[in-house]
Amino acid sequence: MSIRVRHAVVIGGGIAGLTAAYRLRQALGPEVDITVCEASASVGGKLRTLTMDSGPVDVGAEAFIRRRPEVLSLAGELGLSAELVTPSSVRPVIWADGSAHTLPPGAFMGIPASEASIKGLKGLVSPAAERYAAGEAERPFTWEPGADLSLAELVRERFGEEVVRKSIDPLIAGVYAGDSSTVGVRAAIPELARALDSGAATLTAAVRGAFTPTAGSGPVFATFRNGYQTLLNALARAAGAEVRLSASARVLSRAGQRWRTDVASDADIVILALPGHALAGLLSGHAPAAAAAAGEIRHASSAVVTFSFGDDSVLPEWSGVLVAAGEKLDAKAVTLTSRKWPHQGGRGLLRVSLGRFGDDPPVTAFPDESLVRVARADLRVLTGIDVDPRAATVQRWPDGLPQYEPGHQRRVKAIEEGILQLPGIGVAGGYLHGVGVPACIASADAAVTKAIGDVAG
């Protein structure tokens, strides 16, 4: 098989785009020109490592899940395995009804997976709610295979409203900056949907069946000792691509057998690795149904305010605080970075995450001083920290997190079917098959395989 590719372009320089550039280089060899066009002034997208008080700190994504193989293998390929670190055993708490509660043990995304996790709801929910949850196994359960419910609809019926607000929503807010009413079971937790489709007798049994922890599998999360910048640098080096910054693509058109953009010379392959909301404009002339589906994906805006206190003595002995729905606070989560990550210990670092899907105006519309003030006020309530930080920094993420709503898989199918009709085009990113960094890497691999397959002759 010979592949006639002279030039490949990647639009979007986030983790999906940089991974795509690297995979293109691996597949096409050293002779092919590869150009990465990034709209902003730096690559990385939602991965951003800043220097604060002379040390690195991630102000976008801060970790990845080890259960999926993609980051671990990519780090291995790039010689970065020794850079990976895992969290301490210190646990987070849930903030509900004005006080801190331990997380129910053995739950997945807050959904009880065993009798022990139902018992662990004690104190977090009212005795009546606890009794209702405990009766889940006794109540008849019907699940229509293929049903596409929101997580709130499913869990409310089986465990009750309080479990939704106090156990599920705090975790969903942490991942999607949304709540369980706008997150679809099928889109966000496909393993759970599969267990339900295959006839689990109760929701507890379905969760247990979908997520049996493997003995000796180690910590759930990991990250890079010096932040995600380590991965970004290594990927950019290995890709050997020309990186064009402040290059925002607005046009994608056909030029004979090749593709033309307004940010690079004509290419045989174009990987579109931009956020879902930016994809629609580029696709509308070629795949209108795919463009319409991409345009339907809604996004949440959020902001991360990071503080450095210089030492850890002010931090409570928690790894973080997840805030239940309905609390009168702007913060949805606090990560006590220096407690959670031993390699960050001693710096008194923490991150306050503000903003939820549907906020009007979005949190990103407010000036830095307001966001720092609000974050400090909520920090006082949640952790008792009332001393001046040594440093504070604000990172806004406008439309930063796609919402995996019911119907999401139908939209993604429409996007991918549209792309199938466009030879040499691939799509990758966190709005397709998972918002996490491992899923973004997997989407880049798939996009490159598809696009190269199209042009291989």
Ligand X SMILES: Cc1cc2nc3c(=O)[nH]c(=O)nc-3n(C[C@H](O)[C@H](O)[C@H](O)COP(=O)(O)OP(=O)(O)OC[C@H]3O[C@@H](n4cnc5c(N)ncnc54)[C@H](O)[C@@H]3O)c2cc1C
- Residue 425 contacts ligand X per CB under 6 A: no
In angstroms, rounded to a whole number, what is the distance separating the alpha carbons of residues 184 and 163? Answer: 17
- Our CB check for ligand X shows the closer of 120 and 320 to be 320
Q: Note whether 63 binds ligand X by CB under 6 A.
A: yes
* Residue 46 found at the interface with ligand X (CB under 6 A): yes
Among 61, 121, 232, 297, binds ligand X (CB under 6 A): 61
Q: What is the CA angle 380-382-387, rounded to 5?
A: 25
Closer Cβ to ligand X, 39 or 336, answer by number = 39
Q: In angstroms, what is the minimal distance from the CB of 275 to ligand X? A: 5
13 binds ligand X (CB under 6 A): yes
- The verdict on 16 binding ligand X (CB under 6 A) reads yes
Q: Under the criterion CB under 6 A, does residue 17 sit at the interface with ligand X? A: yes
Q: Which of 8, 9, 34, 45 binds ligand X (CB under 6 A)?
A: 45
Our CB check for ligand X shows the closer of 38 and 312 to be 38
Q: How large is the C-alpha radius of gyration of the chain?
A: 22
The CA distances from residue 383 to 177, 200, 366, in Å, are 21, 40, 24
Q: Residue 437, interface with ligand X (CB under 6 A)?
A: yes
Identify the bridge partners of residue 349 per DSSP, sorted by sequence position: 308
| Of 128-136, 178-186, 267-275, 339-347: span binding ligand X (CB under 6 A) | 267-275
Q: Tell me the residue length of the chain.
A: 457
Per CB under 6 A, the list member of 436, 446, 448, 452 interacting with ligand X is 436
Residue 295: which residues within 8 A CB-CB, separation 6 or more? 277, 280
- Nearer residue to ligand X within complex by CB, 83 or 97: 83
Query: What span, in angstroms and rounded, lies between the C-alpha atoms of 275 and 427?
Result: 10
Residue 451 CB, shortest distance to ligand X, in Å, is: 16
To the nearest 10°, the Cα dihedral for 367, 368, 373, 377?
100
303 phi-psi bin (left φ>0, alpha ψ -120 to 50, beta other)? beta
Least distance from C-beta 206 to ligand X, angstroms?
A: 24
**Nearest distance from C-beta of residue 454 to ligand X, angstroms:** 21
Q: Near ligand X by CB under 6 A, which window of 101-109, 143-151, 361-369, 433-441? A: 433-441
| Beta-strand relationship, 64-65 and 221-224 | antiparallel
CA distance readout (Å), 75 to 36, 224, 343, 410, 450: 21, 9, 18, 32, 23
Which range in 154-162, 306-314, 372-380, 432-440 contacts ligand X by CB under 6 A? Answer: 432-440
Count residues binding ligand X (CB under 6 A).
36
CA pair distance 119, 115, nearest whole angstrom: 6
Q: Which of 74, 94, 440, 448: binder of ligand X (CB under 6 A)?
A: 440
How far, in Å, CA of 123 to CA of 82, rounded?
41
Looking at the DSSP bridge assignments, the partners of residue 155 are: none
- Residue ranges in 387-406 that form contacts with ligand X under rule CB under 6 A: 397, 400-401
One of 333, 430, 433, 451 touching ligand X (CB under 6 A): 430
The reply on whether position 435 binds ligand X by CB under 6 A is yes
Span of 36-44, 73-81, 340-348, 446-454 interacting with ligand X by CB under 6 A: 36-44
> Is 249 a binder of ligand X (CB under 6 A)?
yes
Helices 276-283/288-296 angle, 10° precision: 160
Vertex 87: Cα angle to 214 and 106 (nearest 5): 40
According to the binding rule CB under 6 A, does residue 355 interact with ligand X? no
- The minimum distance between CB 245 and ligand X, in angstroms, equals 10
The interface with ligand X within residues 280-339 (CB under 6 A) comprises: 302, 304
Q: For ligand X, give the closer residue by CB, 252 or 314.
A: 252
Of 5-13, 100-108, 122-130, 232-240, the segment contacting ligand X by CB under 6 A is 5-13
> Applying CB under 6 A, which of residues 14, 92, 355, 406 lies at the interface with ligand X?
14
Site of interaction with ligand X (CB under 6 A): 11-17, 37-40, 45-47, 60-64, 248-249, 273-275, 278, 302, 304, 397, 400-401, 429-430, 435-437, 440
